[in-house]
Each structure stands twice: as structure tokens, then as C-alpha cells.
Amino acid sequence: MNTARKLFGAVALTTALALTSACGASSTGTEANATGVQLRMTVWTSNEDQLKLFDTIAAAYRAQHPEVSSITFESLPFADYNTTLTTQIAGGNAPDLAWMGDLSRDLIASDALVGLTDKLKATDGWNYDDLLDSATKEFSRDDTLYAYPFSNSPFALYVNTDLLAAAGQKIDPETLTWDQVAAAGAAVHAKTGKAGFVIRDFDYKSWNTLATVWTGFGAAAWSPDGKTCTFAGPEMQQAFTFLHNAAFKTQAMPGPGTKADFFAGDAAFTVAQVSRASLLDGKFTFALHPLPAGPIGRYAVLGQAGVGVLAAGKHKEQAADFLAYLTNPVNAEKLAQFFPPPRKSLLTGAKLAANNEVLSAAQLQEVVVDQLPKAVTLPNHTSPAEIAQKATTALDAMWKADADIPAVLNSVCAAIDPILTK
């Protein structure tokens, strides 16, 4: 028995040692010391300058609030940010604060967020009335704000003027329409072999980005109350006919499965958020315009991100207090260099241009400030992942040369109506 005991002792010990070392490498020290409040905020940026700014603001806050021993900003990959955040909440490891995009509706609907209005109104000098109504709408329920819309980035049309010149194309930004963009794009593709226009991040999957086009046709994914699918309407048919022609007839838009990156010089036009201007590295000359006019005329679309306090967090009060600090007028101005702010007082071309290295005050005035008040947000609903998957699956039938557009759009409604009415 001695041999066995020795052996098993050794086995147990090795295992224990091995596991201890595993543990040492994997635990990141979640233990809070008695007085120290540790706050954690999940974000989806990994941009060093942005994180540095957050760290600076957090350090200033901690200097005034010694009870808060640390504030960390956890960068989660954008691609599955929602899944990761949900997993953290479900796993009992909810962050204190979190950035949120299309998950906000679910979080608000299931009371997972802390209401912010009272706290912000009660904070000295915060100036709640400075917030733009069109910015706060998406993150509110029953007049209570649940997430501060720190980023309100309108979509704009980026133009590679070198490519247009190479193909002998000219556009007039004042009167530019989608049809002209498609025509110029098709000409560029025919002459140079490069792509015409690219709806960035769409990639024949993320159909919600197509709202940047269909809004100009007067279409919407669902009714304002979110209960009825409007994909099958005539406006949407018109919009998808336009896109389908561009992809399969005129080749103004690269077809499915073709990779083309505007910022690498592969395309004449792209629709992307203004914040993407930082990707322009001077390889080609560019122009930036508001979205072209659709059949209904000029319009604007906006991508939003909010930051909220999670009800499941351990230090809700301190988290809300830090949020109020992070977004006060002084800090909001600092954040504005990266994220178009929701505060009217900051929304002038000159203020936005102060810290922007790529875009001029006139450009920012035109593509951001003038657009925001009238801008429509990207489709937003509860159960975003399920709606996205069901509609993507139904829309796949659209991306074939001989697609029956009305039938496909009807099938989209058939697929998502049960979720909308849930």
C-alpha cells in the first residue's frame, strides 16, 4: 500500500501544483480590499488614445474620491461584444459600467440598467437640458435615461477622388443622388476594376447598415413602436431594387463574397461613420459629404453608442457617480475628439475640429452638426441577435442575380414578425 499511497500522494501533489499555477496565471485578482471600490467598465474600443483619455479622466476622478481604488476599462472585441457582455452578466460577473449599442433595448427591457436621469439632473453643473433629444431617445424609457449616448456618429459618404478622376467621373456634392453615386461607381468599376460603392461593414450579412440607404427611400425595418415589420413595404422594395441592381446589374457595388476596403484604396465610395475618418492615411485624396439624396430627398442616419450602469454591478452608486463625472461638460468636451457628443453646446464645427486631425471645421459642421438633429438611428430592437440572424438568413435569398425581391422581403417579415410581436 505504501507504493500506492506514495504514488497517489505524488499524483495529487503534482495535480494540485499544476492547478495552482494554472490558477495563478488565470485569476486577475477580483478580491476587493475593505475600503477600496473597484470599478470596471467594458468597452469595445482598443484604440490606445481613447483608452488613455479614459484612464486620465478616471485618475482625476479617483484623486477626488479616495474610496474608489481603481477604475479599469476592459476592451472586449467588437465582433462579439454583446455575447461577451451577456455572458458576463449571466455568469454573475457583470461589469459596473458598460458601453452598449444594439443590446441596450434588451438591457432596458429586463431592468438590467440603473436609471440615470435623477442622478445626472442632481449633479452640479452637469446641465441635463444640454442633451439633444434625438440623441437620448433611443436610450430612454418612460422619460428616464438609462444610458448616456456618448457617441452619435452620423454616416457620411467618403469619396476616393483619385479613382473618380481616373475613370473620368465628376460628382456635384450639392445635388448628389444615390443614382449618380451608382452610375459613377459602375463607371469606376468598369474602367479601373476597383469597386464602386461599398456600404461599410455590410458584407451581405449586417443588413442593418443598409438603413443608411433605405432611409433615403423612406423605408424602415419596422414600425416606430417596433411591433410590425415594414420590410415588405413599397419603399423597401424600391430600396432593395436599387441595391440589387447595383450588385448584380451595374456592378456599382461589389457582389457577395468580394472583399474591397475603401480605406486601402479599393473602392470609389463608401458609406461609413464619420469616426472612421481616422483610417484615412493619405494614400489617396478623399472627399467627405453627407449621404446622397434618395427619392425622398436629403436624410441622415446615425450610429449610436451609450454607456450605462448595470443593476447587477456591485457598486451601483459609485458607478453612477463616476458616469456623471465622466460625462460632465468638461469631460464631454474631451471625449468629443473621438465621439460626436450629445450636448448641444459642443456641437459646432469649430469645437469638433479642435481635436480632429483629419477633418476640417467646415466638413464637421456639414457632416456631423447639421445632420444630427434630423438623423434617424440604425434599426434597434429587443432580441437584436435573433432578429439579425433571422433576417440575414431570409435576406440571403436576395443576393442572387435572379432574386424575387418582393417575395424575399415578405419572407423577411415572416421570419421576424414572431420576434417583433413577442
Q: How far apart are CB 125 and another protein at their closest, in Å?
A: 30
Q: Which is nearer to another protein, 220 or 246 (CB)?
A: 246
> Does 64 engage in binding with another protein (CB under 8 A)?
no
Chain positions 76 to 105 lying near another protein, rule: CB under 8 A, are 76-80, 82-84, 86-93
Give the Cα separation of 278 and 269 in Å (integer).
16
Q: Report CA torsion sign: 140, 141, 144, 147.
A: negative
Tell me if residue 394 falls in helix, strand or coil. helix
Find all residues with CB under 8 Å of 127, minimum gap 6, and list them.
Answer: 329, 343, 345
> Does 261 engage in binding with another protein (CB under 8 A)?
yes
Query: Site for another protein (CB under 8 A): which residue of 9, 13, 16, 19?
Result: 19
Q: How far apart are CB 131 and another protein at their closest, in Å?
A: 24
> Does 9 engage in binding with another protein (CB under 8 A)?
no
Q: How far apart are CB 302 and another protein at their closest, in Å?
A: 15
Q: Which is nearer to another protein, 178 or 231 (CB)?
A: 231
Burial of 113 (0-12, 13-18, 19+ CB in 10 A): buried
> Does 420 engage in binding with another protein (CB under 8 A)?
no
- Amino acid letter, 344: K
Tell me if residue 176 falls in helix, strand or coil. coil
> Does 29 engage in binding with another protein (CB under 8 A)?
no
Give the Cα separation of 312 and 140 in Å (integer).
19
> Does 256 engage in binding with another protein (CB under 8 A)?
yes
Q: Which is nearer to another protein, 11 or 59 (CB)?
A: 11
> Does 1 engage in binding with another protein (CB under 8 A)?
yes
Question: CA 200, 205, 206: angle at the middle one, nearest 5?
Answer: 55
Query: Site for another protein (CB under 8 A): which residue of 107, 163, 335, 375?
Result: 107
* Residue 157 Rama label (left phi>0; alpha psi -120 to 50; beta): beta
Q: Which is nearer to another protein, 126 or 189 (CB)?
A: 189
Q: Which is nearer to another protein, 310 or 320 (CB)?
A: 310
- Contact at 8 Å (CB) between 209 and 378? yes
Q: Which is nearer to another protein, 1 or 34 (CB)?
A: 1
> Does 57 engage in binding with another protein (CB under 8 A)?
no
Q: Report CA torsion sign: 62, 68, 70, 73.
A: negative
Q: How far apart are CB 342 and another protein at their closest, in Å?
A: 19
Q: How far apart are CB 243 and another protein at their closest, in Å?
A: 15
Binding mask of the shown chain, residues 385 to 414, with x at each position contacting another protein by CB under 8 A: xx--x--xxx-xx-xx--------------
- Contact at 8 Å (CB) between 157 and 180? no
Query: Site for another protein (CB under 8 A): which residue of 96, 266, 321, 366?
Result: 266
Q: Which is nearer to another protein, 26 or 33 (CB)?
A: 26
Give the Cα separation of 115 and 206 in Å (integer).
30
Q: How far apart are CB 5 and another protein at their closest, in Å?
A: 9
Q: Which is nearer to another protein, 220 or 420 (CB)?
A: 420
Q: How far apart are CB 88 and another protein at their closest, in Å?
A: 5
Query: Site for another protein (CB under 8 A): which residue of 8, 36, 223, 350?
Result: 8
C-alpha 16 chain-centroid distance: 45
Stretch that binds another protein, among 10-18, 162-170, 346-354, 365-373 (CB under 8 A): 10-18
- Contact at 8 Å (CB) between 126 and 343? no
Q: Which is nearer to another protein, 256 or 373 (CB)?
A: 256
Chain positions 273 to 332 lying near another protein, rule: CB under 8 A, are 275-276, 278-279
Chain positions 131 to 190 lying near another protein, rule: CB under 8 A, are none
Tell me if residue 87 falls in helix, strand or coil. helix
Question: CA 197, 201, 205: angle at the middle one, nearest 5?
Answer: 105
Report DSSP letters for 187-250, one per residue. Answer: HHHHHHSSEEEEETTTTTT-GGGGHHHHGGGT--SB-TTS-SB-TTSHHHHHHHHHHHIIIIIS
User: What is the enclosing helix (H) or strand (E) of 44?
Assistant: none
